[in-house]
Chain A
Amino acid sequence: MGDLDEKISEAVEQARESRLNSIIALLVAIAATLMALDNIKDGNVGQGMAQAQAHAVDAWSFYQAKSTKQNLAEATLDTLQVMRATQPPGAATLPDLDKRIASYQAQVARYEKEKTDIKTQAEGYQAEYDRLNLHDDQFDLSDAGFSVAIALFGVTALTRKRWLLGVAAVFLLVGFVFGVAGFFEWNLHPDLLMRWLS
């Protein structure tokens, strides 16, 4: 009878271990699959960020070039206005000065308008970059969550400590939540954590 009891309890134990291994294998497969999907999406987000960044840099540089031209036009306008103020009334140069002043005033106004348009465009690219950056951070955190979870699943399989399975599951959940947030573009800010990690 003792032998039989021993065999039964051994069989039960093996079944239990086999069940734990099955659960671990399934969770590792889920984590690895989600991680792979995250990586693909994150790659695309990264490309979008690089594109938005390049557009923003170009737009702000263009804005700065217009500012420089506007500053030069303003300086010339100032000089012309001072020159005009020092001319005697009825001087022959006045009509020409007035014409030039009007021309520079128009230039300054045109640059101002162009700057406003370029600024709107640049801020749009910047907003797009910031939006994608948030999702990039979410995918990074998701990736980290899945990686830690997979590592802990491995340790659980070796040590047979069930509480470790719970800890691994928490990391799996973190990876899942941030991954879903990234995919569905939720406004879930991992700011504090990212500041600490960056």
Chain B
Amino acid sequence: MAVVTTPRLLVRELTLHDAPFIVALLNDPAFIRNIGDRGVRTPADACAYLTAGPLASYARHGFGLCAVTLAETGEPIGICGLLQRDELPGPDLGFAFLPQYRARGYALEAASAVKADAHARLGLPTLLAIVNPVNDPSIRLLAKLGFEFERTIQLKGDGAFLSLFAAHMT
């Protein structure tokens, strides 16, 4: 199911067929460094991750992390979407792309479309984003999307310090 489309991309819900792509994305060193090690090593792990994560989120909240695919070929190149975490007061924007598809404007294109959809379809007045403070490329992207730094927070779990950004859409 297509969630949003852009001139070059199609953002659709993830399915269990995306498991091999998820293994590649979640084991990218930049993903592990900036987002975390999800312990997904095999397609079976990826299926479990998808079931407990994005697929459960679609069912529960009506949104979640989606696959970003090339409109022309349908090839998955990254993920982008909204997450609902217990520790945050509202949904936050998440994105990650395979290394060969970074620095080509795809992340900005997909994230802009997802952000616009969050406002238009879901009626969200504010969208949050959390990012590793040293992840400069993602922070620059958030600035381009209109996000502003709010404060430094710590989520439960690994206890890492993260920068919380917010974009007010009203």
B-binding residues in A (CB < 8 A): 53, 56-58, 60-61, 63-65, 67-68, 71, 119, 122, 126, 129-130, 133, 198
User: Does B71 lie at the interface of the complex (its beta carbon under 8 Å from any beta carbon of A)?
Assistant: no
Residues of chain B within 8 A (CB-CB) of A71 are 139-140, 143
Tell me the minimal C-beta distance from A78 to chain B in angstroms. Answer: 12
A-B contact pairs, 12 of them (CB 8 A): A56-B161, A57-B161, A60-B163, A63-B133, A64-B133, A65-B149, A67-B139, A68-B143, A71-B140, A119-B134, A122-B161, A126-B161
Contact of B161 among A60, A65, A68, A133 (CB under 8 A): A60
Interface residues contributed by chain B, number (CB under 8 Å) = 15
Question: What residues of chain B lie closer than 8 Å to A133, measured between beta carbons?
Answer: 159
Scoring B residues 61 to 94 as 1 if CB is less than 8 Å from chain A, else 0, what string do you get?
0000000000000000000000000000000000
Q: How far is the CB of B103 from chain A (nearest CB, A)?
A: 15
In the complex, what residue of chain A is closest to B135 when comparing beta carbons? A67
How far is the CB of A139 from the nearest CB of chain B, in Å?
17
B15 interfacial contact with A, CB 8 Å:
no
Interface centre among B140, B143, B152, B159 (most CB of A within 10 A): B152
Per-residue A-contact encoding for B110-139, CB less than 8 Å = 1, 0 else:
000000000000000000000001101001
* Distance A101 CA – B119 CA, assembled complex (angstroms): 38
- How many pairs of residues, A versus B, come closer than 8 Å at their CB atoms? 42
Give a binary string over B144-167; 1 marks a CB under 8 Å from any A CB, 0 the rest: 000001011010100111010000
> Which residue of A has the minimal Cβ distance to B151?
A61
Given A133-B159, A198-B156, check contact A64 B140 (CB 8 Å).
no
Question: How far does the alpha carbon of A198 sit from the alpha carbon of B160 in the complex, in Å?
Answer: 16
Given A67-B136, A68-B143, A130-B159: A60 touches B149 (CB 8 Å cut-off): no
Residue of B nearest to A62 (CB): B152
If A57-B161, A60-B152 are given as contacts, then 6 extra A-B residue pairs at C-beta distance below 8 Å, sorted by A number, are A60-B133, A61-B149, A64-B152, A71-B139, A119-B134, A126-B160
Contact in complex: A57, B152 (CB < 8 Å): yes
Q: Return chain B residues, CB-CB under 8 Å to A64.
A: 133, 139, 149, 152, 163
**Complex Cα gap A61–B161 (Å):** 10
User: Which of A53, A65, A67, A133 lies at the interface centre, i.e. has the most chain B CB atoms within 10 A of its CB?
Assistant: A67
| CB-based nearest B residue for A126 | B161
Q: How far is the CA of A178 from the CA of B121 in the complex (A)?
A: 53
**Which chain B residue shows the least CB distance to A119?**
B134
Q: What residues of chain B lie closer than 8 Å to A198, measured between beta carbons?
A: 156
In whole angstroms, how far apart are the Cα atoms of A57 and B136 in the complex? 18
With a cutoff of 8 Å between Cβ atoms, the chain A residues found around residue B156 in the complex are: 198
Q: How far is the CA of A40 from the CA of B150 in the complex (A)?
A: 36
A104 vs B2: C-alpha distance when bound (angstroms) = 44
B154 x A53 contact (CB < 8 A): yes
Closest to B163 in A: A64
- B140 pairs with A61, CB closer than 8 A: no
A53, A58, A63, A64 pick with most chain B CB within 10 angstroms = A64
Q: How far is the CB of B34 from chain A (nearest CB, A)?
A: 14
Closest-CB distance, B16 to chain A (whole angstroms): 27
Chain B residues, CB < 8 A from A58: 152
Question: Considering the chains assembled together, what is the distance between the CA atoms of A82 and B130 in angstroms?
Answer: 32
* Cα separation A67 to B154 with both chains bound (whole Å): 19
